[in-house]
Amino acid sequence: MNKILLFNPRSAFSKYRIPNSIMNIAASVESMYDWVIVDGNREADPYKKICSYLATGEFKYIGITVMPGPQTKEAIPFSKKIKEEFPSTTMIWGGYFPTNHYKVVLNSGYVDFVINGPGDHAFPKLIDALENNKPYELIKNLIYKNTNGAIVKTPKQDLIEQDTLPDLPYNKLNAFYPIEKYLGKTYLGEKTVAYHSSIGCPFTCSFCAVVPTYEARWKAKSAPHVYRDIKYIKDNWGADAIEFHDNNFFVSEKRTVEFSKLIRPEKMNWWGMARIDTMDKFKDESLALIREAGCKIIFFGAESGNDKILKQLDKGGAQTGDQILQFAERLKKFDLIPEYSFVLGTPAPTPEEVMDQIDFDINFIRKVKSINPKTEIILYTYSPVPTEGSELYNEVLKAGFEYPKTLEDWINPQWEKFDLRKNPLTPWLTAEMIDKIRNFETVLNGYYPTVSDIRLNMLKRKVLHAIAGLRYKINWYKHPYEIKALHRLWKYRQPEIQGF
């Protein structure tokens, strides 16, 4: 029987997390096939490692997980080289990047299959079909080219009940790469574990890459299941804090409360992502319990204080600018820190309107900070995702925006930055607008340094606060070289790039 090589391309330069995406795929074939994992985050020369496995002739299937941005940097050239050097291998890509950009991926000629969304059933079924020369056309969640060269997308599978999935093979991962090294020191604890307790999201925000993949569906592991897994990692490898990587951990108040009661005695700090309008409906007792159970900071997609933009972004639900402000105030009494992310630079009919929108949100963020100064602010610049049919995406196409035409183009330096949401190649944003956003961000991060930067001591924080205060107080953001220099000197951490 042929073996499977699973590759997690490098996604970070420090604070490596357990590679949950590829671990789910490993779990899906665990009892059926022999597999190995190569984690680009943990290898000095991952390509050499991959070749050392492939040279044995035992491996036929290569599964690669690809999220946009840094992971494409290894995924693209490595896949190309593997196909040249080992042409009999079958290359299968999965994850957000190939799901959303399957055409350019399959047109590359070196990726044979894309898994469209969850691969927990599709991947083992595909391997089974290929191994046994059976048809694969009826397997759900597949995208491939047929013999005529036409791209075929098979139907989407309903989301799987998450409690029915096999456990992640932590012990086997530990044999390749010691798990302790995945449990990084963060502001939450000495050994922080990354855990993914639910997939998808029930909402349809038009700027969000989760929507085309999961189509407003969400399925979660039950609270006892999540607790059992975390306890296992705590007992075996000493985890003392948790980062929940779910797109939307707090969808269900009932599950959150149940989990909080279970985890409370473990005295672990934790963090997760949520929606303001969902959590604003939580009872006071639930919010108090969540804090008592160790939750310190919650990440919320605030996106904008402008109700017109919130509508354009199709935030769904009931979120408004007023609610964002009032909720920041509400969380103060529970000692829960809101981490609000904003998306600036969405399209508008005229350049003046785009600039006005940016100015509006800069002032709005100042308001949030004056209401609850502990609020952490994450600033993204809008980078379109192909949410076909959404009004926003139609607007984006009309404005002349185009994705790269070849897979290699995705790794040219401009596009590489695109999905970091820092320097989007969107035609309606002028250099002046981008500068304004980035300069405001620099001054804001100086005046209010993030709590998540554990290397920044009190003294450094005070110096930054004092220097940036000169600008922040008079609303003057241009050319903040002195703050940039200090950020560079002290290696200021940006959660939006380096991990939340």
Q: Could you list the residues that contact ligand SF4 (CB under 6 A)?
A: 201, 203, 205, 208, 210-211, 247-248, 275, 301
> In this complex, which beta carbon is closest to ligand B12, that of residue 214 or of residue 227?
214
Q: How far is the CB of 462 from ligand B12 (least distance, A)?
A: 29
Q: Which residue, 209 or 331, has its beta carbon nearer to ligand B12?
A: 209
In whole angstroms, how close is the CB of 425 to ligand SF4 at the nearest point?
22
Closest by Cα among 65, 61, 58 to 136 = 61
Closest alpha carbon to 340 in 385, 292, 372, 308:
372
Cβ-based nearer residue to ligand SF4, 59 or 203: 203
Give the CA angle between residues 191, 195, 197 to the nearest 5°. 155
CB of 145 to ligand B12, least distance (A): 17
Burial class of residue 161, CB neighbours in 10 A (0-12, 13-18, 19+): exposed
Nearer to ligand SF4, 71 or 247 (CB): 247
Task: State whether residue 467 is helix, strand or coil.
Answer: helix
Find the shortest distance in angstroms from Cβ 67 to ligand B12. Answer: 4
Interacting partner of 16 out of ligand B12, ligand SF4, none (Cβ under 5 to 8 A depending on kind): ligand B12
Which residue of 5, 17, 444, 471 would you call a contact of ligand B12, by CB under 6 A? 17
Q: What is the DSSP string of 220-275?
A: E--HHHHHHHHHHHHHHH---EEEE--S-TTS-HHHHHHHHHHHGGG--EEEEEE-
Q: Which amino acid is it at 87?
A: P
Determine contact, residues 48/38, Cβ cutoff 8 Å: no
Q: Which of 46, 118, 169, 495 binds ligand B12 (CB under 6 A)?
A: 118
Please choose which of ligand SF4, ligand B12, none residue 248 contacts, taking the beta carbon within 5 to 8 angstroms, the exact cut-off set by kind.
ligand SF4
3-state secondary structure of 47: helix
CB of 358 to ligand SF4, least distance (A): 20
What are the backbone dihedrals phi and psi of residue 198, each rounded to the nearest 5 degrees, phi first?
-155, 155
Of 4, 5, 11, 242, the residue at the interface with ligand B12 (CB under 6 A) is: 11
User: Do 314 and 205 touch, CB atoms closer than 8 A?
Assistant: yes
Q: Which of 364, 278, 359, 363 is nearest to 321 (CA)?
A: 364
**Rounded CA gap, 309 and 307, in Å?**
5
Binding track over 194-233 against ligand B12, x by CB under 6 A: --x-----------xxx-----------------------
Residue selected from 4, 5, 19, 191 as contacting ligand B12 according to rule CB under 6 A: 19
Restricted to residues 37-96, the positions that interact with ligand B12 (CB under 6 A) are: 41, 63-65, 67-70, 92, 94-96
Please state, in angstroms and rounded to a whole number, the distance separating the CA atoms of residues 78 and 67: 15
For helices 481-489 and 431-447, what crossing angle results, to 10°?
60
Pairing of strands 35-39, 3-8: parallel
Site string for ligand B12, 421-460 (x = CB under 6 A): x---------------------------------------
CB of 265 to ligand B12, least distance (A): 27
Among ligand B12, ligand SF4, none, what does residue 201 contact (CB within 5–8 Å per kind)? Answer: ligand SF4
Applying CB under 6 A, the residues found at the interface with ligand B12 are: 8, 11-12, 16-17, 19-22, 24-25, 41, 63-65, 67-70, 92, 94-97, 100, 115, 117-120, 123, 196, 208-210, 245-247, 385, 419-421, 496-497, 499
